[in-house]
Structure 1
Amino acid sequence: MRDIPLNPRLLQGLTLVSLKLSPAVIAAFGVLLITSIALFTAPYLGMADNGDFFRNIYSNGIYFNLPDYDSKYFGYFVKQYGIYQYFNENGATLDSSQSLFIKLALGINKLLFSSEVFDIRIQAAIYTLLYVIAIYLLIEVITWKMTRKQGLITAAMAIVIFGDTGYTAYFNSFYSESVVMIMMIFVFAAWLSLYRRRYNDYAMLALLVVSSLFLTTSKQQNAPVGMILAVLALTLLWIRRDSIFRILTVISVGLMMFAGIATYLNISKEFVNINQYHAMTRGVLKEASNPESALNTFGINEQYAILKGNIYYEQYGTVDVDSDILDENFYSRYGFGSILKYYLTHPDQLGSILNVAAKSAFSIKPAAMGNYEEAAGKEFRAQSHFFATYSLVKEKLAPKTFGFIVLWMIVICSLYTPSFVRAIKARDYRGMQRMVLILAVMGMGLSGILVSIIGAGDADISKHEFLFTQSFDLVTFLAASSVIKRRWSRRREPAVPKQNNFPAEAQKGVSI
Structure 2
Amino acid sequence: MMNSSVMRGVLRYLSPAAFAAACVMLISAVALFMQPYIGMADNGDFFRILYSNGLYFNDPNYNSQYLGFFVKNYGIYQYYNENGATLYSSQSLFIKASMYVNHIFHDAQNFDIRYQAMLYLVLYVIAVYLLVEALTWKISKKKGYLIAVIAIFILGDTGYTAYFNSFYSESVVLLMTVLLFAAGLLLYRKRYNDYVLLAVFVLSAIALTTSKQQNAPVGIITAVLGIFIIYIRKKRSYRIVTLISLFVMLGVGIGTYVLIPKEFVNINKYHAMTRGVLMDSVNPEKTLETFGINKQYAVLNGSLYYNPYASVDVNSKMLQDNFYSKYGFGSILSYYLSHPDQAGNMLNLAARDGFTIRPKAMGNYEQSVGKSFGAQTVFFSGYSLLKDALSPKTFGFIILWILIVLGLYTPAFVAAIRQRQWRSALRLPLIVMMILMGLSGIFVSIIGAGDADLSKHEFLFTLTFDLVSLLTVVDVLAKRLWNNEPINELETDES
TM range (shorter): over 0.9
* Matching residue of 1:222: 215
Per the TM alignment, residue 125 of structure 1 is displaced from its structure 2 partner at its CA by: 0.2
Per the TM alignment, residue 18 of structure 1 is displaced from its structure 2 partner at its CA by: 6.6
The answer to whether the Cα contact below 8 Å between 1:20 and 1:26 also exists between their aligned partners in 2 is no
* Matching residue of 2:486: none
* Matching residue of 2:267: 274
Q: CA offsets, 1:202-247, max 9 Å, x none?
A: 1100110111111000000000000000011011111110011101
Per the TM alignment, residue 20 of structure 1 is displaced from its structure 2 partner at its CA by: 4.0
- Distance (whole Å) between structure 1 residues aligned to residue 179 and residue 267 of structure 2: 31
Q: Aligned partner of 1:158: which letter?
A: A
* Matching residue of 2:92: 99
Per the TM alignment, residue 424 of structure 1 is displaced from its structure 2 partner at its CA by: 1.3
Across the two proteins, how many residue pairs are aligned to each other? 474
* Matching residue of 1:304: 297
Per the TM alignment, residue 292 of structure 1 is displaced from its structure 2 partner at its CA by: 1.0
Q: CA offsets, 1:279-317, max 9 Å, x none?
A: 000000001011111111111111111111000000111
Percentage identity across paired residues of the two chains: 60
- Distance (whole Å) between structure 1 residues aligned to residue 300 and residue 243 of structure 2: 47
1:239 equivalenced with 2:232 (yes/no): yes
Per the TM alignment, residue 319 of structure 1 is displaced from its structure 2 partner at its CA by: 1.0
Q: CA offsets, 1:351-377, max 9 Å, x none?
A: 000000000000001100000000111
* Matching residue of 2:5: none
* Matching residue of 2:200: 207
Per the TM alignment, residue 199 of structure 1 is displaced from its structure 2 partner at its CA by: 1.2
* Matching residue of 2:348: 355
Q: Which of residues 353, 360, 368 in structure 1 aligns to 2:361? A: 368
1:450 equivalenced with 2:458 (yes/no): no
Q: Tell me the TM-score normalized by structure 2.
A: 0.94
The answer to whether the Cα contact below 8 Å between 1:31 and 1:159 also exists between their aligned partners in 2 is yes
Q: Compared with structure 1, are the counterparts of its residues 218 and 121 closer, same or farther at alpha carbon in structure 2 (3 Å cutoff)?
A: same
The answer to whether the Cα contact below 8 Å between 2:275 and 2:301 also exists between their aligned partners in 1 is yes
Q: Aligned partner of 1:344: which letter?
A: L
* Matching residue of 1:483: 476
1:460 equivalenced with 2:453 (yes/no): yes
Q: Compared with structure 1, are the counterparts of its residues 397 and 78 closer, same or farther at alpha carbon in structure 2 (3 Å cutoff)?
A: same
Q: CA offsets, 1:402-457, max 9 Å, x none?
A: 00000000011111111011011111111111100000000000000000000000
Q: Aligned partner of 1:290: which letter?
A: N
Q: CA offsets, 1:113-164, max 9 Å, x none?
A: 0011100000000000000000000001110111111101100000000000
* Matching residue of 2:141: 148
Q: CA offsets, 1:330-364, max 9 Å, x none?
A: 11110000000000000000000000000000000
- Distance (whole Å) between structure 1 residues aligned to residue 422 and residue 226 of structure 2: 11
Q: Compared with structure 1, are the counterparts of its residues 189 and 411 closer, same or farther at alpha carbon in structure 2 (3 Å cutoff)?
A: same
- Distance (whole Å) between structure 2 residues aligned to residue 408 and residue 356 of structure 1: 17
- Distance (whole Å) between structure 2 residues aligned to residue 441 and residue 404 of structure 1: 17
* Matching residue of 1:412: 405
Q: Aligned partner of 2:202: which letter?
A: V
The answer to whether the Cα contact below 8 Å between 2:54 and 2:77 also exists between their aligned partners in 1 is yes
SS of the aligned residue for 1:118 comes to: strand
- Distance (whole Å) between structure 1 residues aligned to residue 102 and residue 480 of structure 2: 49
Per the TM alignment, residue 19 of structure 1 is displaced from its structure 2 partner at its CA by: 7.0
Per the TM alignment, residue 17 of structure 1 is displaced from its structure 2 partner at its CA by: 6.3
* Matching residue of 1:473: 466
- Distance (whole Å) between structure 2 residues aligned to residue 261 and residue 293 of structure 1: 34
* Matching residue of 2:488: none
The answer to whether the Cα contact below 8 Å between 1:364 and 1:469 also exists between their aligned partners in 2 is yes
Q: Compared with structure 1, are the counterparts of its residues 292 and 32 closer, same or farther at alpha carbon in structure 2 (3 Å cutoff)?
A: same
- Distance (whole Å) between structure 1 residues aligned to residue 421 and residue 480 of structure 2: 26
* Matching residue of 2:321: 328
SS of the aligned residue for 2:226 comes to: helix
The answer to whether the Cα contact below 8 Å between 1:150 and 1:488 also exists between their aligned partners in 2 is no
1:35 equivalenced with 2:24 (yes/no): no
- Distance (whole Å) between structure 2 residues aligned to residue 342 and residue 52 of structure 1: 29
- Distance (whole Å) between structure 2 residues aligned to residue 303 and residue 232 of structure 1: 45
Query: With CA pairs under 8 Å and 6+ residues apart, which has the higher RCO, 1 or 2?
Result: 1
Q: CA offsets, 1:43-98, max 9 Å, x none?
A: 00000000111111111111100111100100000001111111111101000000
Matches within 5 A, 1:374-385: 374-385=367-378
The answer to whether the Cα contact below 8 Å between 2:356 and 2:455 also exists between their aligned partners in 1 is yes
1:25 equivalenced with 2:18 (yes/no): yes
Q: Compared with structure 1, are the counterparts of its residues 102 and 317 closer, same or farther at alpha carbon in structure 2 (3 Å cutoff)?
A: same
Q: What RMSD in Å do the two structures reach over aligned CA positions?
A: 1.3
1:342 equivalenced with 2:335 (yes/no): yes
Q: Which runs of 5+ in 1 are unaligned?
A: 1-15, 490-512
Q: CA offsets, 1:245-264, max 9 Å, x none?
A: 10110111011001101100
The answer to whether the Cα contact below 8 Å between 1:62 and 1:83 also exists between their aligned partners in 2 is yes
Q: Tell me the TM-score normalized by structure 1.
A: 0.91
- Distance (whole Å) between structure 2 residues aligned to residue 112 and residue 148 of structure 1: 40
The answer to whether the Cα contact below 8 Å between 2:412 and 2:481 also exists between their aligned partners in 1 is no
Q: Which runs of 5+ in 2 are unaligned?
A: 1-8, 483-495
- Distance (whole Å) between structure 2 residues aligned to residue 22 and residue 110 of structure 1: 36
* Matching residue of 2:168: 175
SS of the aligned residue for 1:486 comes to: coil
Per the TM alignment, residue 396 of structure 1 is displaced from its structure 2 partner at its CA by: 0.6
SS of the aligned residue for 1:29 comes to: helix
The answer to whether the Cα contact below 8 Å between 1:360 and 1:461 also exists between their aligned partners in 2 is yes
- Distance (whole Å) between structure 1 residues aligned to residue 480 and residue 436 of structure 2: 29
* Matching residue of 2:251: 258
* Matching residue of 1:52: 45
Larger radius of gyration: 1
The answer to whether the Cα contact below 8 Å between 1:170 and 1:177 also exists between their aligned partners in 2 is yes
Per the TM alignment, residue 488 of structure 1 is displaced from its structure 2 partner at its CA by: 13
The answer to whether the Cα contact below 8 Å between 2:408 and 2:481 also exists between their aligned partners in 1 is no
SS of the aligned residue for 1:286 comes to: coil
